[in-house]
Amino acid sequence: MGRPRLSGVLVFVPDLEVALGFYRGVLGLEVRRESNDHVEMRGDGFDLTLFRCEEGGAADGYSSRAGSSIAFAVDDVDAEARRLRGLGVSVLHDPPARGPIGRYVAFVDPFGTVHELVEATSTDGSVSGRRRAARES
């Protein structure tokens, strides 16, 4: 078996309608297919499936216990964090924290699942990608 490739991301939610409002309405993912127990969605270069479950999670202590978090790449973590806060989303870092892959903020979906927005930086610590280009113009 060679190295595995990411096939998709699964998020378990107790209410698909509320989840659609968040993952489509707030995060901007596209709905590809819906059924009574799951919704298949598409982001920029990835698939995400919402599956109906019995109960939500808890954001408290999310980084101190085993689990997973989806890191969504953004060009400007400050602007995206402001946008999420303006939509009533709980953002857990203010200002953004700095980690091995860049500056980031954690945010909580309506069910207590914690994900992150990450603004990637290059190995020398400078901002990478389109944001750097925008700053230079």
Q: Which residues contact 106 (CB under 8 A, 6 or more apart)?
A: 62, 63, 69, 91, 92, 93, 114, 115, 116
Predicted pLDDT of residue 39: 97
**pTM of the full predicted structure?**
0.80
Q: Report whether 96 contacts 81 (CB < 8 A).
A: yes
Residue whose token pair is 């280009």: 133
- In sequence order, the 6+-apart residues with CB closer than 8 A to the CB of 137 are none
If one compares 137 and 93, the residue with the highest pLDDT of the two is: 93
All structural domains of the chain with their residue ranges: 1-55, 57-137
Percent of the chain's residues with pLDDT above 70: 86
User: What pLDDT, in 10s, does the model give residues 20-51?
Assistant: 999 999 999 999 999 999 999 999 989 999 99
Task: Say whether 79 sits in a helix, a strand or coil.
Answer: helix
CATH 3.30.70.260 corresponds to the domain 57-137? no
Helix (H) / strand (E) containing 80? helix 77-86
Per-residue pLDDT, averaged over 123-133, amounts to 46
3-state secondary structure of 127: strand
Domains 1-55 and 57-137 share a fold: yes
Q: Which class does domain 1-55 fall in?
A: alpha beta
